[in-house]
Structure 1
Amino acid sequence: MRHLPLLMLLGVLGGCSTPGAFFGALDGPSFQARGIEPQHALVYLYRPRSDWADQELEAPGLFLDNRLIGGLPSQGHLALGFEGASYQLEMRRPLFGSYWTWFADGPLDFTRITSFALEAKPGEVYYLRYDELGPPPQCEAAPDAAEGPLQLVCVSLGETEIGATHEVQPFERITSDGQVERPQRGFWRGVGRALGRIGI
């Protein structure tokens, strides 16, 4: 009975992160390319399969302004639509079910793996590859290389590798202030644009 509070705390923390591939392969749909939206940059974040990633108990997560966007287990991908702006993306490793963002950007920030600045341009497609074991293979039209396991790769490499991945969560749009766009908000924004075109 005296261990009940500790077990409850571990149970709550265990629900805060995404389970790793150790507990089973992703069962989401296989990769399907999305149509390009002229007002958004299409960003694919993917993680190739590796023995290292397959043995994880908890998958690392993608953060924007210290808010979790989604977890990224082995052989998974996220598809995101970003409004044109500059974004600071971070990958964090959970510990005991929590990403410990209370310590973010401080001297005790022990869960941050890597950080990446993305300049998103509407109508463009970007492939971000996350691999802790080594840098991606080089391509002829390779973008500027970043340091760390999160790399912007050329479209040809991204298209080739992402085909073997599965969707982790449904597509989401990110506004220029770093918020996940709710479908209702997007609907009313579209109504406002339409009314603006007809002079109302």
Structure 2
Amino acid sequence: MSKRLVKSLIASLILISLFGLQGCRIYQSLGKSIPGSWLHPVNGPEYSLPEDVDMERNALLVIYRPDSKWASEEIESPSVYIDDEREFGIKNNAHYWFEVEPGKRHIVIRRPLLGLEGTNHFSLRIISDFTVNLKAGNTYFLRYSELTPPPMDKEVSEEEPVGDGALFLIPEELAYRDLLTTKFDDHSGRFLTYKMEYHEPEKFEELQAQKDDGSRWYWPF
């Protein structure tokens, strides 16, 4: 490990410790981001979508990372946060899916340094910061790649892909070209509820206050 890297790590630890003492949110993936694809490649089943998703009420969110030599040699995988909760470290040649309640989803991808990522006041590196609005009955495909831009095909879609940094929402037909060679990572396959406390904090606090008032209806004073 180079002296410069050691100094950066020490400085990061000091800053995170100071912010932590002040009650700041610390973003970290200690023990989760290591190993990356180089030490632990994804070896799950080939790409397929689940058949038991309640598409009448929910949406399906698919996030994937196409194969590349650079990503396959990664020691630490970037952390994917959905609504400010770390869900997984995105690995080379892997796909992830989530059954999701309709509504907005804020997705942030952070690059860790030995498991440290920053706080809510500063970040070591944010690769992507993107919000997608999910509707029941639809499947959404998010492609993550720091090396290649999202594929374009005017015959499939005239619209430019939307996203941020290395993460883009692309049509299903274009996503399939990458997805068919990816492997399933079992860190996904979960159900995500809509977090009103994150997206609508004022409304959430109002509802919580109503519940608290209702629970004390019998108190005479």
Give the TM-score band, short-chain normalised: 0.7 to 0.9
Q: Is the 8 A contact 2:32 2:89 kept in 1?
A: no
Q: Where does residue 28 of structure 1 map in the other structure?
A: 44
1:156 aligns with 2:173: yes
Q: CA deviation at 1:109?
A: 1.4
User: CA 1:30–1:54 in structure 2 vs 1: closer, same or farther (change >3 Å)?
Assistant: same
Q: Is the 8 A contact 2:42 2:94 kept in 1?
A: yes
Q: CA deviation at 1:66?
A: 2.5
User: CA 1:152–1:89 in structure 2 vs 1: closer, same or farther (change >3 Å)?
Assistant: same
Q: Where does residue 17 of structure 1 map in the other structure?
A: 33
Greater Rg, structure 1 or structure 2?
2
SS at 1:161 equivalent: helix
User: CA 1:15–1:147 in structure 2 vs 1: closer, same or farther (change >3 Å)?
Assistant: closer
CA-atom RMSD in angstroms:
2.4
The number of residue pairs the alignment matches comes to: 166
User: CA 1:42–1:178 in structure 2 vs 1: closer, same or farther (change >3 Å)?
Assistant: farther
Distance 1:48 1:177 in 2: 29
SS at 2:70 equivalent: helix
- Identity, % of aligned pairs? 28
Distance 2:59 2:32 in 1: 29
Q: How does 1:20-99 map to 2 (within 5 A)?
A: 20-35=36-51, 36=53, 37-99=55-117
Give the aligned residue type for 1:177. Answer: K
User: CA 1:144–1:61 in structure 2 vs 1: closer, same or farther (change >3 Å)?
Assistant: same
Q: Is the 8 A contact 1:58 1:94 kept in 2?
A: yes
Give the aligned residue type for 1:147. Answer: D
SS at 1:59 equivalent: coil
Q: Is the 8 A contact 2:80 2:86 kept in 1?
A: yes
1:123 aligns with 2:137: yes
Q: CA deviation at 1:176?
A: 0.9
Give the aligned residue type for 2:35. Answer: P
User: CA 1:165–1:121 in structure 2 vs 1: closer, same or farther (change >3 Å)?
Assistant: same
User: CA 1:152–1:64 in structure 2 vs 1: closer, same or farther (change >3 Å)?
Assistant: same
SS at 1:99 equivalent: strand
Runs of 4+ off more than 4 Å = none
Q: CA deviation at 1:156?
A: 0.2
Among 160, 164, 168, the residue aligned to 2:185: 168
Among 118, 125, 129, the residue aligned to 1:111: 125
TM-score of the pair, normalised by structure 2: 0.68
Unaligned runs of 5+ in 2: 1-12, 14-28, 198-221
